[in-house]
Amino acid sequence: MISLQDLMTKACSDAFAACGLDPSYGRVNVSNRPDLCEYQCNGAMAAAKAARRNPLEIAEAVAEKLKESGLFASAEAVRPGFINLNASPEAAADLLNELAELPDFGVGKPGAGKTVILDYGGANVAKPLHVGHLRSAIIGESLKRLYRFMGYDAIGDVHLGDWGLQMGLIIEAVKDAQPDLPYFDPDFTGEYPAEAPFTIGDLETIYPAASARAKTDEEFSERAHQATLRLQQGDRGYQALFQHVLRVSKADLKKNYDALDVHFELWKGESDVQPYIADMLADFERQGIMEESEGARVIPVARPDDTKEVPPCLVQKSDGAYLYATTDLATIVEREKLYHPAEIFYVTDKRQNMHFEQVFRAARLAGIVPEETVLSHLGFGTMNGKDGKPFKTRSGGVLRLEYLLKEVKDAVYARMAETDLPEEEKQATAGVIGLAALKYGDLSNQATKDYVFDLDRFSSFEGNTGPYILYTAVRIRSILRKVREQGIAAGPIRPAQGPAEKALQLALLKAGQALTDAFAEKAPHRLCQFIYELSDLFSAFYRDNHILKEEDAARKSGWIRLLELAERELVTFCGLLGFGIPERM
Ligand code: ARG
């Protein structure tokens, strides 16, 4: 990877060694006092303690050695033993010119040859989407793109919740409304109709009504349970009806995910792994890892060194029914069999943390996957409204993704008052910016934390927001267009002359590190931090330098290459966050 920080660390380590000290003291960090210096090395303090020497003397000796390296414009020892470092503008420019040639910013392909399955859909068939599904989709899609960037073969699986009581409720409700349909005739042996007896609109009213009815109407609730069981045992008519529910729901879900620019390679669901369950349980039995507990079957997964209680993993209820953990385990069986992935990665609400802990432990005990296979889970926090409670759309109640996207788009559109874009383009652009506002608003927070959905803030064109980032990228593009119109071509990036140019150059050099960190921590917010800083630094640079009016041709050409690199970094990072950049705005 190309990293000025790494090169500086290497130089400092060598300098410590040359002073007879351990090279590990040479670690260089980005300065936390940018007013004093760009980078710093604090190793002299620890080295002094270990060697019982004076830290300032060590810092001075090391700083002296650093003068021989071409990397630093200055290396200064200050009390009590810090080494303040500034990069040599020539060295920075050389590195930038190297970086500008690399399509992957020098991160390489650490995932080459490996498959990862990302499970970040989880929508429930026939049930409305909830805010948790929105977050899984946004965070999961971003991470999938990041895995791909790292060279993985990344497979996204929507893993629909399609195997619960909701199916029985729908079947019974349809039966009550249209009892003459062939699905309910046990003697029917012909072909079932190809057309579903309901639309997605119907399903959206059927399910909540049936669910409410089951709460007060015991007879109906019992029938729904029976219907669920019959369906799961393979009843032909019910299966045919179930396939209609699946088809209609999937088509609608796909529309919703498409609108979010979220895409899945696999459209599987809990129902797909039912065929694996019996064998899997028999295998647990054979291995002796399963126990009877009050008629139910569980896999104890607690460990002696647990700091909190980890209850047994429940895989079969006393009435024979399978549970959430059962399908998740069977899904791992299937994924191992079909894809033999290096990693399976789940993105869900953090309230499911314990569930995945139990499932992973059970999977390990049963040896469902080889030891080296990584099973990991990212549990994210809740998206709250301004009232601090889980978010609801203005229309209240459950999340209708279309409405949410429309609300964000309208908020953005309202802020585009002064643009002179033709109406049609303005509408389309508001849609593109709106998606960025929504996704960036989510992804700029550390995923595990709760955050407040603040439409005013998210849609603002200023501050740490998606629209601000897009605005910066669009501005860079427009400048590039104009200098190209002046007939000027890009040339080598030149050593920075002013502080704003230097700061922008150093920031651009950190792209590879930002990508690597974001990936290692599974943290899209690191990508956001990077492009936010870059955008601010670009603005400052642009304020200080009149690119279009610059007369020094070599300088101007160097700036073009610098801007091209900035544009490419913004485009890449926005793409990894899951949104695009409009032509104009
Ligand atoms: N359907 C679940 C829900 O709505 C989420 C599924 C997440 N994925 C998984 N493999 N368990 O909460």
513: Cβ below 6 Å to ligand 1? no
Average pLDDT over residues 104-124: 96
CA of 223 to the centre of ligand 1 (A): 25
Q: Which tokens is 433 given?
A: 């910016």
Q: Which tens digits make up the pLDDT trace of 181-205?
A: 999 999 999 999 999 999 988 998 8
CA of 281 to the centre of ligand 1 (A): 21
Q: Which tens digits make up the pLDDT trace of 268-284?
A: 999 999 999 999 999 99
Q: Which tens digits make up the pLDDT trace of 342-352?
A: 999 999 999 99
Q: Which helix (H) or strand (E) holds 286?
A: helix 274-287
CA of 348 to the centre of ligand 1 (A): 7
**Residue 290: per-residue pLDDT:** 97
Residue 319 vs residue 467, higher pLDDT: 467
Tell me the percentage of the chain whose pLDDT exceeds 90. 90
459: Cβ below 6 Å to ligand 1? no
Q: Which tens digits make up the pLDDT trace of 274-316?
A: 999 999 999 999 999 999 999 999 999 999 999 999 999 999 9
Pairing of strands 291-293, 72-78: unpaired
159: Cβ below 6 Å to ligand 1? yes
Q: Average pLDDT, whole number, for the chain?
A: 95
Give, for ligand 1, the residue of 352, 356, 368, 398 to mutate: max count of ligand atoms closer than 8 Å to Cβ: 352
Domains of the chain: 4-87 (3.30.1360.70), 153-160+269-380 (3.40.50.620), 165-259 (no CATH), 401-577 (1.10.730.10)
269: Cβ below 6 Å to ligand 1? no
The answer for 159, left when phi > 0, alpha when psi is -120 to 50, beta otherwise, is left
379: Cβ below 6 Å to ligand 1? no
Average pLDDT over residues 347-365: 97
Find out whether 15 and 26 touch, Cβ atoms under 8 Å. Answer: yes
Q: How confident is the model at residue 396 (pLDDT cuts 50, 70, 90)?
A: low
| pLDDT surpasses 90 at 392 | no
Q: Which tens digits make up the pLDDT trace of 38-63?
A: 999 999 999 999 999 999 999 999 99
Find out whether 256 and 129 touch, Cβ atoms under 8 Å. Answer: yes
Query: Quick one: CA torsion of 62, 65, 69, 70, rounded to 10 degrees?
Result: 90
Residue 297 phi, psi (nearest 5): -115, 130
Q: Which tens digits make up the pLDDT trace of 473-520?
A: 999 999 999 999 999 999 999 999 999 999 999 999 999 999 999 999
Hey, how many other C-beta atoms are within 10 angstroms of the C-beta on 543?
A: 9
124: Cβ below 6 Å to ligand 1? yes
Q: Which tens digits make up the pLDDT trace of 511-527?
A: 999 999 999 999 999 99
Cα–Cα distance, 183 to 196 (Å, whole number) = 11
| pLDDT surpasses 90 at 247 | yes
Residue 201 vs residue 82, higher pLDDT: 82
Q: Whose CA is nearest to atom 5 of ligand 1?
A: 122
**Helix, strand or coil, per DSSP, at residue 275:** helix
Maximal C-alpha separation, the chain? 95
Find out whether 466 and 437 touch, Cβ atoms under 8 Å. Answer: yes
Amino acid at 47: A
272: Cβ below 6 Å to ligand 1? no
Q: How far is CA 258 from the centre of its chain?
A: 16
**Residue 398: per-residue pLDDT:** 61
Find out whether 469 and 569 touch, Cβ atoms under 8 Å. Answer: no
The size of the chain, in residues, is 585
Under DSSP, the state recorded for 69 is S
Find out whether 343 and 327 touch, Cβ atoms under 8 Å. Answer: no
Q: Which residues contact 316 (CB under 8 A, 6 or more apart)?
A: 281, 296, 297, 322, 323, 326
CA of 11 to the centre of ligand 1 (A): 49
- 85 strand-pairing partners: 39, 75
Q: How confident is the model at residue 164 (pLDDT cuts 50, 70, 90)?
A: confident
**Residue 401: per-residue pLDDT:** 81
